[in-house]
Amino acid sequence: MPFKPVILWTDALLFLLLAAAVGLWLHMRSRPHLLQPWRNLVQSRQAMGSMVFLAFFMAVGLLDSMHFRLRISPADATQESRYRVQTLSALDVLVGPLRTQTEKTYSAPLATHLFAKETIEAAGDGRTRAYPRLTYGGAHLSDPATEWLPDVLRLIAAGLGLGAILWNALALLVTGVLARHTGREFGQTWRAIWQHREPLPWRTILISAGFIVLLLAPMALLATRYHVLGTDKVGQDVFYLTLKSIRTGLLIATLATLVMLPLATALGIMAGYFGGWVDDAIQYIYTTLNSIPGVLLIAASVLMIQVYMATHPELFDTIEQRQDLRLLFLCLILGVTSWTGLCRLLRGEALKLREQEYVQAAHAFGVSHSRVIRRHILPNVMHIIVIAVVMDFSVLVLAEAVLSYVGVGVDPTMTSFGNMINAARLEMAREPMVWWSLASAFFFMLVMVLSANLFADALRDAFDPRISVASRGKA
């Protein structure tokens, strides 16, 4: 094999989560009453519009989670194959030169020269202080002063054109598939989509996809010749770093939930359903944990993990594995500190459900506790769980940035939004200011969190029975 797959802990958990989601969907497919809220959800324009953006981030995150090590080409065929130490991801391969084309230090977005003056050996009169040309950014231009603007404009125009073609192809494909599926004519389906007469909000989906394509295509073309978003202190491409940060944010948001979910669900339902001493014990546990201020508990735990990892270097071989282990511990800690809210909600709900007639009927028939919980309690608290998971997503992405700033977040060598912002703090103090890495982190984080928030709102509207009853009453 030309490469050897490397499965980091967090990768494995992310794929496990994905498998669980697929499993859940297969389970629900044959149960229409469980599918109903999801059907409401996919018909909501807000949900599907933001879902397109989230899907983009997830695609980047998933690509970046497929890790492997390339094989070193052996000198002769008899040699045992060996692999490079460096772990790459599918995303690294996809963006190709972005990863390797590093400059000396800062350079502005689309710049052709370094950001700081340096002493250059001139041909005739010794040395001069000037901005040296970049090694890669705009290296194909012979005279940047005159050629730069036309070249950039040409690339942007070509990118927009490419984006338009891609987007049209996508729109035609969707219409074609839809027309075939429903047995209508192509033109008829096309009009139905754009007049918003389809059950699914295809127009919103296509417009959102259009935004992404039209933004990314010019950036991708520009990235082949320039550093679209500039370079950072050690000359790394900021666009590349931003793309890499997406995985970190995504993982923290999903894995912390994965840790929190079984804990909160099991304890919350048990406390509400059984009552008595079980309830007292669980309430005591979460009141105690809850009374420690969140940041302090996380800080204390991360400090201890730091010591643990420093004294146990045998747990990891490469830098990637160290970063990964630290990320995993951070997710664990975030999960353990954040389950109390959902647990309390579930306890309250289970307390109410326990008194329902159908639960009492089940008891009268001699149905076992575990079966009652599985068949009657769990499906009826599912909406609370789903809402809590999605609401937590954006909170956790934002928390990562703050925690990394405080120094108890992800590994300092790992690319993440928090570490980018943290570095930007010093860059802002420079004169003239280095603004681009902060701006890129800001923009991508805003889009990610905003689409997560909008999606969460739409999902809550679709799932919360209280809200749907209230809005039906109004109408």
- Residue numbers at the binding site for another protein (CB under 8 A): 284-285, 287-293, 295-297, 299-301, 303-308, 310-311, 394, 398, 401-402, 405-408, 417, 421, 424-425, 428, 433, 438, 442, 445-446, 449-450, 453-454, 457, 470
When the beta carbons of 126 and 313 are compared against another protein, the nearer one is 313
Q: Which amino acid is at 169?
A: A
Annotate 206-248 with three-state secondary structure.
HHHHHHHHHHHHHHHHHHHHCCCCCECCCCCEHHHHHHHHHHH
Beta bridge partners of 113: 133
When the beta carbons of 102 and 283 are compared against another protein, the nearer one is 283
When the beta carbons of 26 and 310 are compared against another protein, the nearer one is 310
Least separation in angstroms between CB 306 and another protein: 8
Least separation in angstroms between CB 448 and another protein: 9
| Residue reference for tokens 């901005």 | 131
Least separation in angstroms between CB 24 and another protein: 27
When the beta carbons of 44 and 101 are compared against another protein, the nearer one is 44
Assess contact for 346 and 279: CB atoms under 8 A: no
Least separation in angstroms between CB 322 and another protein: 15
Least separation in angstroms between CB 313 and another protein: 9
When the beta carbons of 144 and 294 are compared against another protein, the nearer one is 294
Least separation in angstroms between CB 457 and another protein: 7
When the beta carbons of 177 and 303 are compared against another protein, the nearer one is 303
When the beta carbons of 21 and 296 are compared against another protein, the nearer one is 296
Query: Distance from CA of residue 219 to its chain's centroid?
Result: 20
Least separation in angstroms between CB 253 and another protein: 13
When the beta carbons of 163 and 230 are compared against another protein, the nearer one is 230
When the beta carbons of 122 and 304 are compared against another protein, the nearer one is 304
Least separation in angstroms between CB 380 and another protein: 22
Least separation in angstroms between CB 158 and another protein: 32
When the beta carbons of 142 and 311 are compared against another protein, the nearer one is 311
426 CB neighbour count, 10 Å cutoff = 10
Least separation in angstroms between CB 365 and another protein: 38
